[in-house]
Structure 1
């Protein structure tokens, strides 16, 4: 009996011990994992750019907070509205640790949660983007757009709020307006204007004139038609923040479009005019032709800045004269083959204005047109004739207009004396005088008034031609 009682007692004590241990363990589980549960993130878990894989929530919180503190120290955030980009003050942004951790999912890339005050964003917008006036709804939309973009935690980012602000607005303004005068409007130009008028340049898209005419029904157009339209389109684009990707000029100074704004087109060589709309809003091309005036404008949501184009450092270069010779040109005649024209160099300058303040001045291009040289065609040879005998005009057949002084010229009194030379025996070789009389000398008888011989003839070298017998 005692043994039975002992066994029963031992069994009761053992059962009680097991029950107590079980209850203790269960309580610890409930307290640690149910009541005060500690979350641990799984593999490949990121919060913003920070890796929290396999970290308990407490350690993950420390990792993220430390990383965000470093982000505040070096991050550069800018806000873009149409063509204006300005720095955004991070002092108005507050990191929300609790919201970030509780919304994070295992094995995923999670976002950082920031709190951005609408009041601070409204003050920022009104200060930086005047003369725009923003409604409460627009400020709320801009605030949400900023908060969403900051969630990535990138150090350097530009947040475009244009779409958020103008999603429901119908505001439209003329952002560019250009007129070319004295334009001879052809049928081809009219067809191009009709096809381009009202054409929409969508956000972040590129426009190519050659690609456009491949798809649009513009009929027959010449290279000059295309160049004229491309040029006024180029001048219009320069008055916006659009980027010019491709533009060329011709070999000579343009006659139909203003200097500095030519955009030549050559379909055979693939010479095109291309530009890009960098904004997140759409713009429309508009064209109008009245008489000899051609007008182009671009309309869309207003730009923050204004753009002005001017010409500077214009220089002219004189042409040279090139002489050519031809046997088909008459003597004493000069035929003008090419009249020639001055060359020109000019710099196109773009000035970006904020109200009355100059923000930036940019050299857009330096257009150089070389001079067209003058070309003259002269006769191949010049034939000069000798003067008539006895003319006494002193000219010779060598074309010099003067008689060489070789002592063999005729008499000064118009007589026809025959020149002679001294043969050394006191008599001249023609027997007309003797040495004793003093009528013979080294220079002949040019001063002998009694000579009645004819004037001598000379060759082109100035030598006497012996008289024929």
Structure 2
């Protein structure tokens, strides 16, 4: 009797529980059936049209599309002078999550993840000496590309590479003239920081640091050495100036001039995320410097080529104050110079993977100015160039200013000087073996001081007289 009563009491409760569970499961089943019939119109995942598809159909379609993409994709990893194809096996696609995260409108990316162990092994195999930890942000970049099933793209690993602190290049300028201004600048600025993703201007640095320089020559050695240092990195030159003549402290092709008065500046760009550090020091008459930063996979070297020299012209001046047998030189000539400067980029294997023309530096030749006796026809062995015009004029008791007794720049083919009172005539001698360039420089000259065809206007005037 007691058992029957218990059964009668529990039976309704059991039936209610069964009904409740059944209805709940049926509701979930019906909801899934209803909501999975089709998608909103124009739904896309990685440019794959899924409109009107069920979830199972959408997943199947995406799986087929991804398998096709793996055989067609050409996503390249570029680094250290090599381009390698991304191993699609390092990418995991999550199709259920992709379908579940579809947007109501627009093109949705696929849910993907990078197998870190697989990608690290691939990098170590294809780029020996490097590993995934040296490329922070690379995984995210790969996921962005593969989630949209891009077929062609190049991912430059240089944009993500981070190494240890390293000295890229150290240089020095020997036997320079250490002026008080130069010494004060180095003492106040032994370290110069070049921030990442920034533009560096030497003149702006002077203003910000409060450095005062008495003359541009104080900055010449610093600017030239800094220019040499940055040429051994990937820093891009935006502005650089040179002097009219090569200074004694600078090497041909490696000079840089900065002048706060005229606005001549040295400007370069740092496209890396990491900064560079430049240090300077003075040791007697030697200026030393070095540039350091995060390790790069490349080495940069400076190469010069196409060096040419252009002989100076000889400008003859004739003076009545120079006795016969004496040749005076008021300005020694200097050869003109031309050189091309390249920056070569080397891989870790020592292969040249890029070369960049940095500049073509040209310094015009300086004329040699000779002063001859007024009646000298041709040079002979008795003429001496050890005496100066000023000394000879003092010996003759004449004035130190010969502005009234000499004229300069009279060429061999110039018309005669009018008037008989001019006692001195200058003549520029030499023939150009090249064309004159647009900037007024002569590409080459040949000097002949013993030419028998030399004629002067004063002689003609004297004959006429």
Please give the TM-score of this superposition, normalised by the length of structure 2: 0.63
Alpha-carbon distance in 2 for matches of 1:244, 1:349: 12
Pick which of 205-214 and 31-40 moved more. 31-40
Q: Secondary structure at the match of 2:191?
A: coil
Q: Secondary structure at the match of 2:351?
A: strand
Q: Given the superposition, is the C-alpha separation of residues 235 and 328 from structure 1 closer, same or farther in structure 2, using an over 3 Å criterion?
A: same
Q: Given the superposition, is the C-alpha separation of residues 100 and 209 from structure 1 closer, same or farther in structure 2, using an over 3 Å criterion?
A: same
Q: Secondary structure at the match of 1:357?
A: coil
For 1:336-392, what per-residue CA distance to the aligned partner results, in whole angstroms no more than 9, with x for missing partners? 222101122223333333345222362433322222121123345569xxxxxxxxx
Alpha-carbon distance in 1 for matches of 2:171, 2:120: 35
Choose the corresponding residue for 2:218, options 202, 225, 240.
225
Paired position in structure 2 for 1:100: 98
Deviation of 1:319 (Å):
1.3
For 1:372-431, what per-residue CA distance to the aligned partner results, in whole angstroms no more than 9, with x for missing partners? 121123345569xxxxxxxxxxxxxxxxxxxxxxxxxxxxxxxxxxxxxxxxxxxxxxxx
Choose the corresponding residue for 1:368, options 351, 357, 362.
362
User: Mapping of 1:155-194 within 5 angstroms?
Assistant: 155-160=152-157, 166=162, 171-194=164-187
Alpha-carbon distance in 2 for matches of 1:147, 1:233: 41
Alpha-carbon distance in 2 for matches of 1:266, 1:244: 17
Pick which of 231-240 and 31-40 moved more. 31-40
Q: Given the superposition, is the C-alpha separation of residues 124 and 63 from structure 1 closer, same or farther in structure 2, using an over 3 Å criterion?
A: closer
Paired position in structure 2 for 1:295: 288
For 1:308-360, what per-residue CA distance to the aligned partner results, in whole angstroms no more than 9, with x for missing partners? 22333433222121113345555654432221011222233333333452223
Choose the corresponding residue for 1:336, options 329, 336, 348.
329
Alpha-carbon distance in 2 for matches of 1:352, 1:254: 29
Alpha-carbon distance in 1 for matches of 2:180, 2:142: 51
Q: Which runs of 5+ in 1 are unaligned?
A: 1-26, 384-459, 462-469
Choose the corresponding residue for 1:345, options 332, 335, 338.
338
Q: Secondary structure at the match of 2:143?
A: helix
Alpha-carbon distance in 2 for matches of 1:69, 1:306: 40
Choose the corresponding residue for 1:119, options 98, 105, 117.
117
Q: Given the superposition, is the C-alpha separation of residues 55 and 354 from structure 1 closer, same or farther in structure 2, using an over 3 Å criterion?
A: same
Alpha-carbon distance in 2 for matches of 1:361, 1:140: 25
Deviation of 1:236 (Å):
0.6
Please give the TM-score of this superposition, normalised by the length of structure 1: 0.62
Q: Given the superposition, is the C-alpha separation of residues 251 and 69 from structure 1 closer, same or farther in structure 2, using an over 3 Å criterion?
A: farther
Paired position in structure 1 for 2:202: 209
Alpha-carbon distance in 1 for matches of 2:313, 2:158: 58
Deviation of 1:115 (Å):
3.5
Is 2:170–2:290's contact at 8 Å kept on the other side of the alignment?
yes
Is 1:93–1:114's contact at 8 Å kept on the other side of the alignment?
no
Alpha-carbon distance in 2 for matches of 1:212, 1:101: 55
Q: Given the superposition, is the C-alpha separation of residues 71 and 288 from structure 1 closer, same or farther in structure 2, using an over 3 Å criterion?
A: farther
Deviation of 1:75 (Å):
4.4
Pairwise CA RMSD of aligned residues?
3.9
For 1:42-62, what per-residue CA distance to the aligned partner results, in whole angstroms no more than 9, with x for missing partners? 77x7645x3869765668765
Choose the corresponding residue for 1:377, options 363, 371, 382.
371
Is 1:118–1:140's contact at 8 Å kept on the other side of the alignment?
no
Paired position in structure 2 for 1:437: none
Paired position in structure 2 for 1:19: none
1:265 equivalent to 2:262? Answer no
Paired position in structure 1 for 2:77: 78
Is 2:90–2:119's contact at 8 Å kept on the other side of the alignment?
no
Deviation of 1:205 (Å):
1.4
Q: Which has the larger radius of gyration?
A: 1
For 1:419-462, what per-residue CA distance to the aligned partner results, in whole angstroms no more than 9, with x for missing partners? xxxxxxxxxxxxxxxxxxxxxxxxxxxxxxxxxxxxxxxxx99x
Paired position in structure 2 for 1:324: 317
Deviation of 1:121 (Å):
1.6
Is 1:281–1:301's contact at 8 Å kept on the other side of the alignment?
yes
Alpha-carbon distance in 1 for matches of 2:54, 2:336: 76
Is 2:173–2:221's contact at 8 Å kept on the other side of the alignment?
no
Q: Given the superposition, is the C-alpha separation of residues 64 and 345 from structure 1 closer, same or farther in structure 2, using an over 3 Å criterion?
A: farther
Is 1:47–1:111's contact at 8 Å kept on the other side of the alignment?
yes
Q: Which runs of 5+ in 2 are unaligned?
A: 1-25, 378-461
Is 1:344–1:370's contact at 8 Å kept on the other side of the alignment?
yes
Paired position in structure 2 for 1:238: 231
Is 1:31–1:37's contact at 8 Å kept on the other side of the alignment?
no
Alpha-carbon distance in 1 for matches of 2:64, 2:190: 55
Is 1:52–1:63's contact at 8 Å kept on the other side of the alignment?
no
Choose the corresponding residue for 2:347, options 347, 351, 354.
354
Is 2:347–2:353's contact at 8 Å kept on the other side of the alignment?
no
Deviation of 1:246 (Å):
1.6
Q: Secondary structure at the match of 1:241?
A: coil
Alpha-carbon distance in 1 for matches of 2:45, 2:323: 93
Q: Given the superposition, is the C-alpha separation of residues 320 and 276 from structure 1 closer, same or farther in structure 2, using an over 3 Å criterion?
A: same
